[in-house]
Amino acid sequence: MHETLERWSTRRAFILAVTGAAVGLGNIWRFPYITGENGGAAFLVLYVAFVLLLGLPVMMAEIMIGRAGRRSPMQSLGHLAARSGASRHWRWLGLFGAATVFCILSFYSVVSGWSIEFLVAAINGDFRGASAADIGAGFDAFLADPARLTFNHSLFLAMTLLVVAAGVAKGLERLNNLLMPLLYLLLVLLAGYAATTEGFGVALGWLFLPDFSALTPLVVMHAMGHAFFTLAVGACALMAYGAYMPDHQSLPRAVGAVAVLDVAVALLAGIAIFSVVFSQGLDPGEGPGLMFVTLPIAFAELPWGALWLSVFFLLLLLATWTSSINLAEPMVATLQGWGLRRGLATAVVGVAVWSLGMLSVFSFSSLAETRVLFGMNPFELVSTIPPEVFLPLGGLLIAIFAAWVMPEEAARYALDVGPGGFRLWRGVVRWVAIPLTLVVLVAGLS
Ligand code: TRP
């Protein structure tokens, strides 16, 4: 298999594509609810620290491998390993990544489907005049209805695979250009509204004044897993995008911009959501429904609330769309690498992801009490173990490969920084990122 010639058309397009992969449910849905479940500020501090110390350097490592290999993840790893005389078995890391995104996409598609339902409800004005209790009850009734969940899950997955089948670079570029600026604008507006609510002060204190006494190794592991998840790192999915990265673009600078935007979106969403939580006397540890219950309440109080809410869910949907396209890409690339045509590869991925996703659909009704493993039902299991164990494990192996195994001159070239910058990056990966990931994983799992 030869090098791919496909490239993102501009440097900006590459940054937007990676931002599109990073910003999604992880920032707006998952970040608030797991921060709520894990006690607030102390968790937030850890998450930001992990983004800086692990997420960023490993993200550079991952994209760099793709850029140096210019092939699908499995083939890039195999090719670079061979060039430095290391074992070709490194290529199985690409398959492990594909298995990880397989699990993640299955629940991601189901939850993204919730935004479709809410978008339609918002456009219909269903939330107008509804009380917090009404909205909560409506959401519970929706989750208990597998037919509606299945419909939305199927629709969302079909939307994703349509773009993937067409080839990622072109369709995605156009989508991203419009979407990202609008999403930020709306979140700033929402956070501005939050500042006028009575819960705002409590929310800020709860988010930003840490109490480290409540930390356990498990909470630390949740924070690390979330840092990988939100940056889309650890599953070779960004490696696939790195293969299309143009020459002459500084990787650290591009990645730094993405991380800042990613954290900013999460913080804005968190401020907005927790202001509502504390204004309405809701429970921050409410779980996966947190965003879906709080935001309709918040918007209901704004002038033209129904309109804003519709726009918000539309943007959320587009943001999850660009993320799920990134989630699907490594699987399709892997199958293509095995000789399948792109259309067929996409169809195979679609059937498999849809089927696994059905377990998540039923996890809110008939399978709710079915404890598969570790006391978790299927949805809890796939939305916890792959992000919090598989991604860090994948990230660890990616880091080891990038900093110890692959040829140094290829790494240096693909990172595109000066000699000092290269040594700094490699030092951080070797002596901070790798040991820290290992320690947190071992402590969290034992
Ligand atoms: N980062 C995305 C989010 O926050 C999810 C995501 C997209 C992802 N691509 C990924 C997670 C690859 C892990 C690996 O919603």
> Given ligand 1 and candidates 33, 59, 179, 326, which is best to mutate, with the most ligand atoms within 8 Å of its CB?
326
pLDDT digits (tens, 9 = 90+) for 323-358: 999 999 889 988 988 889 989 999 999 999 999 999
Q: How far is the CA of 440 from the centre of ligand 1 (A)?
A: 21
Cα separation, 361 vs 288, whole angstroms: 13
CB atoms within 10 A of CB 446: 6
Q: Is residue 6 in a domain? A: no
3-class secondary structure per residue, 17-43: HHHHHHCCHHHHHHHHHHHHHCCCHHH
**Closest to 108 measured CA to CA, from 294, 382, 381:** 382
Q: What residue type is assigned to position 62 of the chain?
A: E
Q: Is the dihedral of CA 219, 224, 229, 231 positive or negative?
A: positive
CATH number of the domain enclosing 62: 1.20.1740.10
pLDDT at residue 39, rounded to an integer: 86
pLDDT at residue 125, rounded to an integer: 86
Q: Is residue 39 in a domain? A: yes
Site residues for ligand 1, CB cut-off 6 Å = 21-22, 24-27, 101, 104, 229-230, 232, 235, 237, 323, 326-327, 391
By the 10 Å C-beta count (0-12 exposed, 13-18 middle, 19+ buried), 210 is classed as: middle
22 CA: nearest ligand 1 atom: 1
Number of domains, the chain: 1
Q: Which residues pair with 376 in a beta bridge?
A: 373
CB under 8 Å to 196, separation ≥6 — which residues? none
First to last CA, the chain: 42
List the helix and strand counts (H, then E) for the chain. Answer: 22, 0
374, pLDDT greater than 80: yes
Contact at 8 Å (CB) between 243 and 107? no
Q: How far is the CA of 196 from the centre of ligand 1 (A)?
A: 32
Q: Is residue 179 in a domain? A: yes
319 CA: nearest ligand 1 atom: 15
Q: Is residue 268 in a domain? A: yes
* 87 three-class SS: coil
CB atoms within 10 A of CB 216: 11
Q: Is residue 397 in a domain? A: yes
In a 13 Å sphere around the CA of 116, the CA atoms on its Cβ side amount to 19
pLDDT at residue 6, rounded to an integer: 75
228 CA: nearest ligand 1 atom: 13
Q: Is residue 267 in a domain? A: yes
97 CA: nearest ligand 1 atom: 14
In a 13 Å sphere around the CA of 256, the CA atoms on its Cβ side amount to 7
Q: How far is the CA of 22 from the centre of ligand 1 (A)?
A: 6
SS3 content of the chain, % helix, strand, coil (to 5): 80, 0, 20
Name the residue with the closest Cα to ligand 1, atom 6: 232
In this prediction the pTM is: 0.94
Q: How far is the CA of 107 from the centre of ligand 1 (A)?
A: 12
Confidence of residue 228 (pLDDT cuts 50, 70, 90): very high
Q: Is residue 2 in a domain? A: no
* 361 three-class SS: helix
322, pLDDT greater than 80: yes
217, pLDDT greater than 80: yes
**Tokens linked to 428:** 């951080």
323 CA: nearest ligand 1 atom: 7
**Tokens linked to 176:** 């991203």
Q: How far is the CA of 269 from the centre of ligand 1 (A)?
A: 17
The domain of 403 spans: 11-445
25 CA: nearest ligand 1 atom: 15
Q: Is residue 317 in a domain? A: yes
**Which residue matches tokens 């009404």?**
134
Q: How far is the CA of 446 from the centre of ligand 1 (A)?
A: 26
**Closest to 36 measured CA to CA, from 183, 219, 186:** 219
**Tokens linked to 209:** 């004044």
> Given ligand 1 and candidates 104, 261, 315, which is best to mutate, with the most ligand atoms within 8 Å of its CB?
104
CB atoms within 10 A of CB 419: 8
pLDDT digits (tens, 9 = 90+) for 261-314: 999 999 999 998 898 889 888 889 888 889 898 888 877 777 777 887 888 888
> Given ligand 1 and candidates 106, 229, 331, 388, which is best to mutate, with the most ligand atoms within 8 Å of its CB?
229
